[in-house]
Amino acid sequence: QAPAPAAERVAAAVETVAAPGEFRNAYRRQLLALSRRIRLLGPFAEELRERRRPPGEEEERALATLADALEKALELLKLGREGSRISLVFDRDRVMNIFQEVVAQLEQALLDFPYNELDISDEVREQTYERSCIEKWLASGHHTCPTTQQRMANTTLTANYVLRSLISQWCETNGIEAPKRSSQPNKPMPACSSSERANIDALLSKLCSPDPEEQRSAAAELRLLAKRNAHNRLCIAEAGAIPLLLSLLSSSDLRTQEHAVTALLNLSIHEDNKASIMSSGAVPSVVHVLKNGSMEARENAAATLFSLSVVDEYKVMIGGTGAIPALVVLLSEGSQRGKKDAAAALFNLCIYQGNKGRAIRAGLVPLIMGLVTNPTGALMDEAMAILSILSSHQEGKAAIGAAEPVPALVELLGSGSPRNRENAAAVMLHLCSGEQQLVHLARAHECGIMVPLRELALNGTERGKRKAVQLLERMSRFVVQQQEEQESNSRLQATVAQVFPQAPEQVQEREIPDQLESPASQYPTLL
């Protein structure tokens, strides 16, 4: 039997580590840290399986080395789960040596891996930069950067400004206070007073009333209560409002439906309520409103999906329910606020690699390119953020390239906001690393990309500087290759001129008679 491809071995090893298991021995902390680090490769393994282009020889060798390291780590983790506790204790020196060998082999395999050649997404390539991964790295007791191996000056984490900016913009548009990180996250919320609970219970009773007027008014009051503060959101959810509100999403009364979905939106802002909403099977009903409700209800349904999709595992669940095509439709035909809500939700969902293909096939790229080239500049920030993450997907790169985006992207590089310049550089970098890279490199050179790129490399955001430097290297190589080709052609022409010093003599015009003599005149005329 032929051995499995290295990419499949890597993916299978990561999936095996992701399976639940316990370590109850003297090496529990080290084993947990090792399994946690391997689980961070989950998105990377997923992209390996999605790739259509088979890896080249160098990539296959690197994948095989990584697979060997992961499989050796699996053996160690298995020993930690199933091995004799007594023998593990008495054989401590040997086990610790195995630990050191496995960790060193794994780190070396990851350090030597040709990520750029593999054409994986920025999200995966730049993942030890994501907050959750950094937190896990620090929690494992590390004080060095896994990329540079330099000791970190401090362990203070900064926010994801792109996502936080979108959240803040949405909260401002909807008149809701932006969420704040609590300095005491475990501090319990004060319990509902008896009068508050009585009022909420009365409203819930009205939600179950057969009278449509009572249902509508109760949903409207709960909507307002949930908007006011976090305390109300928690009390309403604890009283059992979520399943009742969900049942009203299929109401034939559009106003009742609108109040119900907006109440759910306001409840979802509280982190503790997101899990309750998702476990109640809310997403299909919210998508129903997104497709069929009034414009305001559709807008708030999109905002609800955005709020829920902040949690990574919910991105996967929401993406599989048909939400993405409905959001694309709202982005196309909604009001300005509806488009903004749809764009925010789509951005969040497309952070997950599996949702990118769904969005591309739903026709998102032409809509986004329309926003990028819109002279009004409406939704430019959202459009460029989405374009940046879609360009890391193979289908997305092809769809973006077909829209002839280079002139607009070069213009943004020179005159856009700092964040849009950064995203324009990221998109250009992806376009200039695929099958059509020569076409895009040539077009970018024609549009004068070098000047704004150099300026971005000096004065852009940190991510913008990295992208600009990478793109400058590719552009420089392309320009040098073009010059070499021109010089080669010039030398070839010079060689031809030496071999054939004079062109063939041209027949002069005066040597051609005005009229050729007819052959018939040379013979006697027959009568």
Confidence (pLDDT) at 471: 93
Band (pLDDT 50/70/90 cuts) for residue 426 is very high
The type of residue at 133 is C
C-alpha 98: how far from chain center: 37
Confidence (pLDDT) at 504: 53
Q: Which two structure tokens, joined as six digits, stand for 183?
A: 């300095």
Confidence (pLDDT) at 153: 64
The type of residue at 24 is R
At a CB cut-off of 8 Å and minimum separation 6, what does 126 contact? none
- Of 388, 464, 331, 382, which is closest to residue 166 (Cα–Cα)? 382
| pTM exceeding the 0.85 threshold for the entire prediction | no
At a CB cut-off of 8 Å and minimum separation 6, what does 464 contact? 418, 421, 422, 425, 456
Confidence (pLDDT) at 117: 63
Confidence (pLDDT) at 513: 53
Per-residue pLDDT tens digits for 446-463: 999 999 999 999 998 888
Long-range contacts of 89-96 (CB under 8 A, 24+ apart): 89/25, 89/26, 92/26, 95/27
Contact 326, 291 (CB under 8 A): yes
Q: How far is residue 21's CA from residue 35's CA, in Å, rounded to a whole number?
A: 10
Pick the more confident residue, 257 or 167. 257
Q: How many helices (H) and strands (E) does the chain have?
A: 30, 0
At a CB cut-off of 8 Å and minimum separation 6, what does 300 contact? 258, 261, 262, 265, 341
CA distance readout (Å), 322 to 288, 332, 345 = 10, 16, 13
Contact 359, 392 (CB under 8 A): no
Contact 102, 110 (CB under 8 A): no
pLDDT greater than 50 at residue 185: no
Rounded average pLDDT over 398-406: 94
Pick the more confident residue, 179 or 421. 421
Band (pLDDT 50/70/90 cuts) for residue 490 is confident
pLDDT greater than 90 at residue 168: no
Contact 380, 371 (CB under 8 A): yes
Band (pLDDT 50/70/90 cuts) for residue 206 is very high
Q: How far is residue 155's CA from residue 132's CA, in Å, rounded to a whole number?
A: 13
Rounded average pLDDT over 351-370: 93
Report the largest interatomic distance among the alpha carbons of the chain, rounded to a whole angstrom: 136
pLDDT greater than 60 at residue 516: no
Q: Which two structure tokens, joined as six digits, stand for 309?
A: 């999709």
Band (pLDDT 50/70/90 cuts) for residue 190 is low
Contact 467, 426 (CB under 8 A): yes
pLDDT greater than 70 at residue 260: yes
Per-residue pLDDT tens digits for 146-156: 555 566 666 65
Lowest mean pLDDT among 23-32, 100-109, 333-342, 375-384: 23-32
pLDDT greater than 50 at residue 193: yes
Band (pLDDT 50/70/90 cuts) for residue 112 is confident
Rounded average pLDDT over 317-326: 92
pLDDT greater than 60 at residue 82: yes
Same topology, domains 196-280 and 281-403? Answer is: yes
Contact 141, 155 (CB under 8 A): no
Confidence (pLDDT) at 39: 76
pLDDT greater than 50 at residue 132: yes
Contact 401, 431 (CB under 8 A): yes
Rounded average pLDDT over 270-289: 92
pLDDT greater than 80 at residue 177: no
Q: What SS3 class is residue 151?
A: strand
Contact 314, 296 (CB under 8 A): no
Contact 371, 378 (CB under 8 A): yes
Q: What SS3 class is residue 130?
A: coil
Average pLDDT, rounded, for the chain: 81
Q: How far is residue 454's CA from residue 460's CA, in Å, rounded to a whole number?
A: 10
Phi and psi at residue 20, to the nearest 5°: -65, 150
pLDDT greater than 70 at residue 136: no
Q: How far is residue 367's CA from residue 378's CA, in Å, rounded to a whole number?
A: 13
Provide the percentage of residues in the chain whose pLDDT is more than 90. 43
170: Cα within 13 Å, side-chain hemisphere? 29
Is 196-280 a domain of CATH 2.60.40.1120? no
Question: From the CB of residue 183, how many other CB atoms can be counted at a distance below 10 Å?
Answer: 6
Per-residue pLDDT tens digits for 225-234: 999 888 899 9
Domain boundaries, given as residue ranges, for the chain: 6-140, 196-280, 281-403, 405-488
Phi and psi at residue 500, to the nearest 5°: -120, 80
At a CB cut-off of 8 Å and minimum separation 6, what does 462 contact? none
The separation between the first and the last C-alpha atoms of the chain, rounded to the nearest angstrom, is: 96
Lowest mean pLDDT among 97-111, 123-137, 411-425: 123-137
- Residue indicated by tokens 């950064």: 422
Rounded average pLDDT over 33-48: 75
Confidence (pLDDT) at 150: 61
Q: How far is residue 470's CA from residue 464's CA, in Å, rounded to a whole number?
A: 10
Confidence (pLDDT) at 102: 83
> Measured on CA atoms in the order 211, 213, 215, 221, is the torsion positive or negative?
negative
Q: How far is residue 296's CA from residue 254's CA, in Å, rounded to a whole number?
A: 10
Contact 349, 319 (CB under 8 A): yes
Superfamily of domain 281-403: Leucine-rich Repeat Variant (1.25.10.10)
